[in-house]
């Protein structure tokens, strides 16, 4: 859901962009109550205090086994400690799983669990709890979105309380990476049984903060988990999340001190932030991207040359300047600069001449017309209009059809479209950003793209254990996908987060999740 | 009067039924499926089907409708498809926010509209009247989302006098509650006040020409007493009508205002339910809001009789 959700919610304010400009200039000139601490030296963390966090939409569910929205992960990362964790450079590190072995040609993963960890309800965290969670997620009757992550699991066993043995049907090099996400966030089986279908309103994990209260559309409160396994952490007593769906308002809330941290900054306000000493911010390449999906099973995009013509006709840098104020990076593959699989050399030039050549090859020297579906919000519509004018220059007529997000997703999944404008929030392992999207019959393969060579390359990449070997396969697959153009990648979206200088120990991650176990306020 | 009230309340039933039929049909016939909202990109056709079965969405639509209506008749509005919360409790936690916002907006609009309307009528075609007309024009013409952002810019971001968003329950802190509502109330009240003020001016001018006012004046009654006690009371009947008519529109404005100021009211509930295709929440909320509007109009009718005893209900 991820970047799409962000877009949908960001949209409400587009009509107010002019005013947003006013807001940002005021932020620059008006003093705030917090003092700058840009030159601070390392200080000892201070315990206590409440952190007020602005988030760009409300949570959907607090049950990791039933969640698919990016925003839910903002809460999960602090309520649930995943089995493995990601570093700020997106490498997989030990966490509740302290070490592991991979045997049987990459098909058997043995996970060794940390001793002495308890769930927030006081029950022990152990191998049985992990297996209980995964069995629940794999049970078709529970309709968990996590099921696809565990599709390769053949059997699970627990030789002792601190060891989980996972037998896979085939080697799967992204398996450890999956354990850093919601699949690795283990709920207390006692709480799951107690609350049943209402568990999503009463989550219990092993993370640094425990759930206290959630008033939908208003706020959610987490409190320090006294049973947390990392002694002395977390430092904060309390976190209050406030959903603020209007990005300008969210930014204003930070400027006025109503919140201490925000999960996204409107692109037009970033330049004012960098000159504002009373606020801090960081900008990092994100894992996500925006793209057009072209239905390869329907005219006109069942002709590869029509698809390729669009690839050449779009000036991605111009889109970046217009819509992202220069803060995005033009995209050509599914692997963003935050990923080890990123290759800046895989790209196509912006060229009307090459686009027209492709149109001639397709047998449409004067162009063709098609309809692009997009989310009905001003930001997306602006992007669609920009693409429309780019394509018109080479004779391609694009009709814009704005629909609401649920309809867009339904049509995309059902193949009921010629082209649509979507995005993907991205995952740390390249397999999670490519395999299900590009392989024949893949579960996220909305364009119905099929190429045996790509299938084979992505399967080899998934089964290989060496990162350098995998990278070669991903490069080859990405180059083919780029030129066959079932997707027209547009831009990689950055993660930009801002906070007040009283907040210490906060790090911005490429996945955009705000981790608060090390954060303290002074 | 009592039979009238009973008759009116009974007549709410068919209207409420029509509301249920229309809402139910529109949301179910619109494309999209809550399973896609819940499952997101990871929605495989099999997963969607399983979830549809679990949520009872594979049954024929008429069957779902019959089940829904029979539950509503037993006072059960169902549970949210997304998180399993009972719809009634979702509504009841949000209703106080919207009701308070609406009531305060009407009161604030009267505080603005009564003096400006009366002064404009008392001194027609003078500078007072012109200023009042200009204010009314601006009030009616300015879109409330723009006004909201303008007020936030001045009073929250620049001057830092008022919070730009959020909500404190009245039970937690009366001051905190009111201070959070000042900006949203102004946003809602201004357009309402603009219309009310102009209607009041016109009606008052009309009334002041009537014979009984001249009689009152001839008796030597103080001019302000004539205007307020004799004129205003009769001029208020159309004003009440306008307010009654605007309650529906006001609830529409509340949706936008609640979004901008992040207020956890009915408006946000309805908007999210539409986007998520959370059928029970949407059906329940719309039904509830329709009943509130109908009851508000009933109250308007009762206020007529109080204002003008000549109005009798048969």
pLDDT in tens, A452-508: 999 999 999 999 989 999 999 999 999 999 999 999 999 999 999 999 999 999 999
Q: What is the band of A192 on the pLDDT scale with cuts at 50, 70, 90?
A: very high
Q: Tokens 């992007």 belong to which residue?
A: A383
- DSSP states of A477-522: HHHHHHHH-SEEEEEEEEEEEEE-TTEES----TT-----TT-EE-
- For the CA atoms of A378, A380, A381, A382, the dihedral, rounded to the nearest 10 degrees, stands at 80
What is the predicted pLDDT for the residue at B312?
Answer: 64
B271 — phi, psi (to 5°)?
-60, -45
Buried b (16+ CB within 10 A) or exposed e, B109-127: bbebbbebbbbbbbeeeee
Measure the CA–CA gap between B167 and A217, rounded to whole angstroms: 10
A113, burial (CB in 10 Å: exposed 0-12, middle 13-18, buried 19+) = buried
Name the DSSP letter for residue A111.
E
**Which segments of B142-278 does DSSP mark as H helices, in order?**
144-151, 174-208, 211-218, 223-225, 233-260, 266-276
Report how far Cα A117 is from the mean position of its chain's Cα atoms.
28
Contacts of residue A248 in chain B, CB cutoff 8 Å? 149
Determine contact, residues A254/A54, Cβ cutoff 8 Å: yes
Per the rule left: phi > 0, alpha: psi between -120 and 50, beta: everything else, A363 is: left
CA distances to A6, A416, B61 from A14, in Å: 13, 28, 38
Report CB contact under 8 Å: A404, B46: no
Chain A from 174 to 233: CB within 8 A of any B CB: 197-198, 200-201, 215-219
Task: Report the candidate in A269, A341, A292 with the shortest Cα–Cα distance to residue A491.
Answer: A292
Report CB contact under 8 Å: B268, A252: no
Among A7, A201, A246, the strongest candidate for a mutation testing the B interface, having the largest count of B CBs within 10 A, is A246
Interval A220-241 mean pLDDT: 96
Bond preceding residue A222 cis, omega within 30 of 0: no
Beta bridge partners of A302: none
Chain B within 8 Å of A246 (Cβ-Cβ)? yes
pLDDT-wise least confident of A286-300, A324-338, B297-311? B297-311
Say if residue A16's pLDDT is above 70.
no
Contacts of residue A198 in chain B, CB cutoff 8 Å? 83-85
Q: How far is A376 from chain B (nearest CA, A)?
A: 11
Report CB contact under 8 Å: B32, A26: no
Chain A from 475 to 494: CB within 8 A of any B CB: none
Report CB contact under 8 Å: A242, B31: no
Q: Which residue of B has its CA nearest to A196?
A: B84
Tokens standing for residue B124: 């027609």
Interval A222-236 mean pLDDT: 96
Report pLDDT digits (tens) over A396-426: 999 999 998 888 888 888 899 999 999 888 9
Measure the CA–CA gap between A431 and A398, rounded to whole angstroms: 32
Task: Report the candidate in A316, A313, A318 with the shortest Cα–Cα distance to residue A357.
Answer: A313
Interval A189-195 mean pLDDT: 96
Per-residue pLDDT of chain B (314 residues; tens, 9 = 90+): 788 788 878 888 898 889 889 989 888 888 778 888 777 766 677 778 888 888 888 888 899 999 999 998 898 999 888 878 899 999 998 888 888 999 999 999 999 999 999 888 888 888 988 988 888 888 888 888 888 889 988 998 888 898 888 888 888 889 999 999 999 999 999 988 998 998 999 888 888 888 888 888 888 888 788 888 888 888 888 888 888 888 877 877 787 888 888 888 888 888 888 888 889 999 999 888 888 888 888 888 888 777 777 766 65
pLDDT-wise least confident of A95-109, A166-180, A254-268, B214-228? B214-228
Q: Which of A198, A201, A256 sits opposite B164 (nearest CB)?
A: A256
Beta bridge partners of B25: none
Report CB contact under 8 Å: A410, B83: no
Q: How far is A378 from chain B (nearest CA, A)?
A: 15
CA distances to A377, B31, B49, B281 from B54, in Å: 31, 19, 9, 17
Task: Report the candidate in B250, B117, B121, B100 with the shortest Cα–Cα distance to residue B194.
Answer: B117
Q: Which residue of A has its CA nearest to B163?
A: A258
Measure the CA–CA gap between A239 and A50, rounded to whole angstroms: 6
Determine contact, residues B118/B204, Cβ cutoff 8 Å: yes
CA angle B39, A417, B282 (to 5 degrees): 45
Interval A40-51 mean pLDDT: 82
Among B52, B83, B171, B269, the strongest candidate for a mutation testing the A interface, having the largest count of A CBs within 10 A, is B83
Contacts of residue B42 in chain A, CB cutoff 8 Å? 68, 145, 148, 443-444
Q: How far is A352 from chain B (nearest CA, A)?
A: 33
B170 — phi, psi (to 5°)?
-55, -35
Say if residue A15's pLDDT is above 50.
no
Report how far Cα A435 is from the mean position of its chain's Cα atoms.
16
Say if residue A315's pLDDT is above 90.
yes
What is the predicted pLDDT for the residue at A377?
Answer: 82
What is the predicted pLDDT for the residue at B42?
Answer: 62
Q: Which of A23, A217, A242 sits opposite B272 (nearest CB)?
A: A217
Q: How far is B311 from chain A (nearest CA, A)?
A: 44
Beta bridge partners of A281: A498
Contacts of residue B37 in chain A, CB cutoff 8 Å? 60, 406, 409
Determine contact, residues A300/A395, Cβ cutoff 8 Å: no
Determine contact, residues A75/A127, Cβ cutoff 8 Å: no
What is the predicted pLDDT for the residue at A42?
Answer: 63
Determine contact, residues B171/B90, Cβ cutoff 8 Å: no
Q: How far is B36 from chain A (nearest CA, A)?
A: 6
Say if residue A451's pLDDT is above 50.
yes
Determine contact, residues B58/B252, Cβ cutoff 8 Å: no
Report pLDDT digits (tens) over B144-178: 888 888 998 899 888 889 888 888 888 888 999 99
Higher pLDDT, A133 or A275: A133
What is the predicted pLDDT for the residue at B246?
Answer: 81
What is the predicted pLDDT for the residue at A86?
Answer: 95
Q: How far is A443 from chain B (nearest CA, A)?
A: 6
Measure the CA–CA gap between B73 and B85, rounded to whole angstroms: 19
Among A72, A143, A378, the strongest candidate for a mutation testing the B interface, having the largest count of B CBs within 10 A, is A143
Q: Which of A8, A219, A407 sits opposite B31 (nearest CB)?
A: A407
Q: Which residue of A has its CA nearest to B47?
A: A143
Contacts of residue A202 in chain B, CB cutoff 8 Å? none
User: What 3-state DSSP class applies to B33?
Assistant: coil
Beta bridge partners of A489: A291
Task: Please tell me the number of Cα atoms within 13 Å of A366 on its side-chain side.
Answer: 0
Among A23, A53, A139, A218, the strongest candidate for a mutation testing the B interface, having the largest count of B CBs within 10 A, is A218
What is the predicted pLDDT for the residue at A352?
Answer: 96
Q: Which of A198, A249, A410 sits opposite B33 (nearest CB)?
A: A410
What is the predicted pLDDT for the residue at B230?
Answer: 80
What is the predicted pLDDT for the residue at B41?
Answer: 65
Report CB contact under 8 Å: A410, B40: no
Measure the CA–CA gap between B295 and B8, rounded to whole angstroms: 9
Report CB contact under 8 Å: A256, B36: no
Say if residue A20's pLDDT is above 80.
no
């Amino acid at each position: 859901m991820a970047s799409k959700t962000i877009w949908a919610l960001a949209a409400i304010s587009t009509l107010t962009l002019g005013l947003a400009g006013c807001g940002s200039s005021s932020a620059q000139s008006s003093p705030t109550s917090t003092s700058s601490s840009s030159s601070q030296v390392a200080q000892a963390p201070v315990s206590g205090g409440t952190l007020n966090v602005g988030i760009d939409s409300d949570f959907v569910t607090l049950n990791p086994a039933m969640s698919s929205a990016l925003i839910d992960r903002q809460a999960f990362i602090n309520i649930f400690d995943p089995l493995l964790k990601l570093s700020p450079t997106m490498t997989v590190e030990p966490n509740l799983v302290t070490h592991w072995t991979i045997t049987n040609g990459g098909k058997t993963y043995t996970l060794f669990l940390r001793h002495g960890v308890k769930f927030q309800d006081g029950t022990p965290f152990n191998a049985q709890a992990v297996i209980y969670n995964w069995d629940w997620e794999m049970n078709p009757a529970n309709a968990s979105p996590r099921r696809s992550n565990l599709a390769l699991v053949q059997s699970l066993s627990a030789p002792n309380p601190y060891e989980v043995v996972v037998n896979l049907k085939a080697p799967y090099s992204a398996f450890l990476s999956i354990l850093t996400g919601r699949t690795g966030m283990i709920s207390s089986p006692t709480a799951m049984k107690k609350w049943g279908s209402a568990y999503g309103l009463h989550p219990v994990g092993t993370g640094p903060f425990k759930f206290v209260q959630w008033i939908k559309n208003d706020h959610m409160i987490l409190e320090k988990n006294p049973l947390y396994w990392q002694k002395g952490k977390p430092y904060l007593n309390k976190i209050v999340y406030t959903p603020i769906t209007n990005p300008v308002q969210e930014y204003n809330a930070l400027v006025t001190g109503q919140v201490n941290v925000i999960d996204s900054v409107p692109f037009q306000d970033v330049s004012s932030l960098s000159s504002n000493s009373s606020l801090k911010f960081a900008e990092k390449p994100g894992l996500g991207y925006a793209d057009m999906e072209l239905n390869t099973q329907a005219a006109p995009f069942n002709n590869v040359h029509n698809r390729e013509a669009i690839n050449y006709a779009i000036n991605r840098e111009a889109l970046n300047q217009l819509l992202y104020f220069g803060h995005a990076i033009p995209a050509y593959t599914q692997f963003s600069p935050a990923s080890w699989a990123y290759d800046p050399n895989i790209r196509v030039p912006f060229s009307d001449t090459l686009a027209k050549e492709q149109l001639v090859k397709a047998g449409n020297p004067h162009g063709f017309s098609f309809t692009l579906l997009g989310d009905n919000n001003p930001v997306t519509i602006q992007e669609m209009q920009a693409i429309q004018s780019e394509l018109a220059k080479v004779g391609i007529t694009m009709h814009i059809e704005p629909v609401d997000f649920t309809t867009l997703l339904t049509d995309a999944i059902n193949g009921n479209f010629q082209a649509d404008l979507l995005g993907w929030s991205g995952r740390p392992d390249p397999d999670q950003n490519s395999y299900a999207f590009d392989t024949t019959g893949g579960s996220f393969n909305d364009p119905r793209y099929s190429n045996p060579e790509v299938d084979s390359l992505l399967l080899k990449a998934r089964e290989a254990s060496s990162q350098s070997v995998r990278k070669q396969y991903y490069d080859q697959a990405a180059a083919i996908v780029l030129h066959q153009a079932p997707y027209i990648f547009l831009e990689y979206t950055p993660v930009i987060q801002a906070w007040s200088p009283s907040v210490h120990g906060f790090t911005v991650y490429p996945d955009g999740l705000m981790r608060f176990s090390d954060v303290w306020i002074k | 009067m009592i039979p009238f009230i009973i008759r009116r309340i009974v007549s709410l039933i068919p209207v409420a039924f029509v509301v249920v039929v229309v809402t139910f049909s529109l949301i179910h016939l619109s494309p999209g499926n809550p399973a896609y909202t819940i499952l997101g990109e990871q929605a495989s056709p099999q997963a969607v089907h399983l979830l549809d079965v679990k949520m009872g969405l594979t049954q024929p639509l008429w069957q779902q409708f019959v089940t829904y209506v029979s539950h509503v008749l037993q006072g059960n509005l169902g549970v949210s498809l997304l998180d399993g919360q009972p719809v009634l409790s979702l509504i009841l936690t949000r209703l106080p926010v919207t009701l308070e916002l609406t009531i305060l907006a009407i009161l604030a609009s009267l505080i603005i509209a009564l003096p400006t309307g009366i002064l404009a009528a008392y001194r027609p075609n003078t500078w007072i009247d012109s200023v009042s007309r200009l204010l009314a024009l601006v009030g009616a013409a300015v879109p409330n989302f723009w006004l909201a952002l303008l007020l936030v810019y001045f009073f929250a971001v620049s001057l830092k006098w008022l919070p730009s968003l959020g909500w404190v329950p009245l039970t937690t802190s009366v001051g905190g509650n009111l201070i959070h509502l000042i900006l949203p109330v102004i946003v809602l009240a201004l357009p309402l006040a603009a219309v009310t003020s102009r209607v009041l001016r016109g009606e008052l001018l009309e009334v002041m020409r009537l014979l009984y006012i001249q009689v009152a004046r001839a008796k030597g009654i103080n001019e302000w007493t004539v205007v307020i006690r004799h004129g205003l009371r009769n001029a208020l009947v159309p004003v009440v009508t306008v307010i009654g008519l605007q309650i529906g529109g006001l609830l529409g404005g509340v949706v936008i205002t609640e979004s901008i100021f992040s207020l956890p009211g009915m408006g946000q509930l309805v908007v999210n339910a539409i986007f998520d295709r959370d059928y029970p929440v949407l059906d329940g909320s719309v039904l509830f809001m329709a009943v509130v509007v109908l009851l508000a109009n009933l109250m308007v009718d009762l206020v007529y009789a109080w204002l003008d005893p000549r109005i009798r209900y048969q």
